[in-house]
Chains A and B, each alone.
Chain A
Amino acid sequence: MNSIPVKNSFAFSGKIEGEIAGKIWDSIKSGLILIDSAGNVLLWNNWMAQHSAIPTELALNHSFESLFPDSLSVSFKTAIRHALQHKLPVILSNALHRSPLPLYLLPITPDKQRIQQSITLTPIPTGEGNPLCLIQIVDATLSIKRERVLKSHTERLSKEAVTDALTGAYNRRFFDERFAAEFGRAQRQNIPLSLIMLDVDYFKLYNDTYGHPAGDKVLTSIVKALKSQLHRPTDVVARYGGEEFVVILPDSKTEGSQIIAERLRSAVSNLNIPHSESKVADHITVSIGIATYQPDTDCNATHFLEMADTALYSAKHGGRNCVRHLTTTEGGKPCMDVSFSPSPLLV
């Protein structure tokens, strides 16, 4: 049988024998277990003894399964069978098995933190027919931690790459991509799409009067107010440039987008941020232009964006602090001005 006395029957290159071999695997910084075809432990290196709290003397010549009575998973048993019966190497990845064996981080504390493991089982031919199975256990705890850190950094950076640093709204780059995607989707799936463009009234005068830091604060408050009115996760608020913002409302028709736009307008007005130089009110207000894409009408993304801009321009010239709306029509351009919000409120 395979009852190999561990410490003196392995030879390497005719020079390294017995004790030296033992010292080598006891110095190795990962777990090494060798079991025979009956499942008995022939090798249990120092790393195993330390991390399992099962001393080598107790482990040797005992059945591997009996050492972990409660905790050997079906996958682990199958893996051993594969290695011993079919002589096939097996991988138990950390991603799919996490911590298959009860091995703990050192020093082993009362709350016993299990080691994250990557395990490889390899058949070792003996020349006598029955192979042995070498189980190697690598501590993956550190790599997992490193990977988590990298992932959270990646997430933060990807978020920063699409966010406007001042206001926390999405930035222009994100808007350009998302808008193109949403417009394409609306055309393909024949669904409506609305785009709201808004501009802060007399913002230059505000900056001149109250200073740029105060102006920055206004922009931040406006974004907060806009976001508080949008509840669908697909609605996107982006800073288009300077004091101009855009809101993408996928799957929103004329009526819906008008209601939203009016809500956005009043939300900003209700912030009641004093603006002594404004010519429409005594506080900060916004002018809003809406463009709505109706399915089966002829329009492209650039033209659609221009429509929103035109609607905004018309709101600016129609008295500010108001909403103007343009909708695509069957014949393509010109897009008809279909609705006006209540006339500018002079407060």
Chain B
Amino acid sequence: MNPLTELQVDTLTEIFNIGAGRAASSLSEIVGDPVMLSVPRVQLYQSSEINAEVLSLNSPRLGAVKQHFSGPFNADAMLLFTEDRALEIVHDMMGSQVSINDIAEFEQEAMCELGNIILNACLSSMADILKLTLDSSLPVYSVGETNAVLQQIILDANQPIMLVLHIDLAIEKRHSQGYLVFLLSSSSLQELLAHIDHFISGI
């Protein structure tokens, strides 16, 4: 499904790339090295269409950082990385020698922070550009078998539409792909699109 016009897609991509730029600068402050973050693609799916193949998440386990936000529209925002990618990213950020197999509590907290930085940057750029206020819950990190995590996301949300952002994250030499997923009800999607159209008409 793709009921978005080209202009709407461009605007959303632009908004999220501004957010990605902000997140990158926050991340490089922490890492002390340049971090590149971009959102090359934005796509809309019915949540029933989503599975590991569609998202090409070909890894047995998936890590998800989730924040619920509310305002003129409500959504569950989630950052998805395969678990090994997530740990690699956290290790690169920590500059740590710890083995990838040691999934420790404080690495999960670090993953939570990484998700928090990226989600907040995207939400704040959306809030700034569309001139609206969004409230958000604290991030929660969960990790599990890929299809189970995806199933749980779809069940929990009970929101039929998924706005899927492809994310490219480069810390030093390592490139990682992940997804930022917004689960919206159709009325929330209409509300978001109304704000986008309003913004477009104002340019």
* A residues in contact (CB < 8 Å) with B: 73-75, 78, 82, 86-97, 118, 120, 122-123, 125, 140, 143-144, 147, 150-151, 154
Q: A91 and B109 in contact (CB under 8 A), knowing A86-B123, A151-B98? A: yes
* Min C-beta distance of B189 to chain A, whole Å: 21
Binds A, one of B34-42, B50-58, B135-143, B173-181: B135-143
B109: chain A residues within 8 A (beta carbon): 91, 93-95, 118
Bound complex: CA of A331 vs CA of B117, how far in Å?
60
**Within 8 Å of chain A (Cβ to Cβ): is B120?**
yes
Asked if residues A95 and B107 are in contact (CB atoms below 8 Å), the reply is yes
**Within 8 Å of chain A (Cβ to Cβ): is B113?**
yes
- Chain A minimum-CB-distance residue to B125: A86
* Min C-beta distance of A146 to chain B, whole Å: 9
B106: chain A residues within 8 A (beta carbon): 93-95, 118, 140, 143-144, 147
Asked if residues B110 and A82 are in contact (CB atoms below 8 Å), the reply is no
Q: Which of A74, A87, A97, A150 interacts with B133 by CB under 8 Å?
A: A87
Bound complex: CA of A144 vs CA of B109, how far in Å?
12
Asked if residues B136 and A89 are in contact (CB atoms below 8 Å), the reply is yes
B136: chain A residues within 8 A (beta carbon): 87-89
* Min C-beta distance of B64 to chain A, whole Å: 15
Bound complex: CA of A120 vs CA of B120, how far in Å?
14
B112: chain A residues within 8 A (beta carbon): 91, 93
Q: Which of A87, A91, A96, A140 interacts with B135 by CB under 8 Å?
A: A87
* B residues in contact (CB < 8 Å) with A: 26, 29-30, 67, 90, 93-94, 98, 102, 104-107, 109-110, 112-113, 116, 120, 123-124, 127, 133-139
Asked if residues A75 and B134 are in contact (CB atoms below 8 Å), the reply is no
Bound complex: CA of A90 vs CA of B109, how far in Å?
12
A97: chain B residues within 8 A (beta carbon): 30
Bound complex: CA of A197 vs CA of B139, how far in Å?
55
Q: A147 and B104 in contact (CB under 8 A), knowing A86-B124, A95-B94? A: yes
Q: A96 and B29 in contact (CB under 8 A), knowing A86-B127, A87-B135, A89-B136? A: no
B104: chain A residues within 8 A (beta carbon): 147, 150-151
Q: A120 and B30 in contact (CB under 8 A), knowing A86-B124, A91-B112, A94-B109? A: no
Asked if residues A91 and B29 are in contact (CB atoms below 8 Å), the reply is no
Bound complex: CA of A123 vs CA of B137, how far in Å?
10
Most buried by B among A74, A89, A94, A95: A95
Asked if residues A92 and B102 are in contact (CB atoms below 8 Å), the reply is no
- Chain B minimum-CB-distance residue to A82: B120
* Min C-beta distance of B162 to chain A, whole Å: 22
B116: chain A residues within 8 A (beta carbon): 89-91
Asked if residues A96 and B123 are in contact (CB atoms below 8 Å), the reply is no
Q: A75 and B30 in contact (CB under 8 A), knowing A88-B120, A88-B123? A: yes
Bound complex: CA of A184 vs CA of B92, how far in Å?
29
Q: Which of B98, B107, B120 interacts with A86 by CB under 8 Å?
A: B120
B123: chain A residues within 8 A (beta carbon): 86, 88
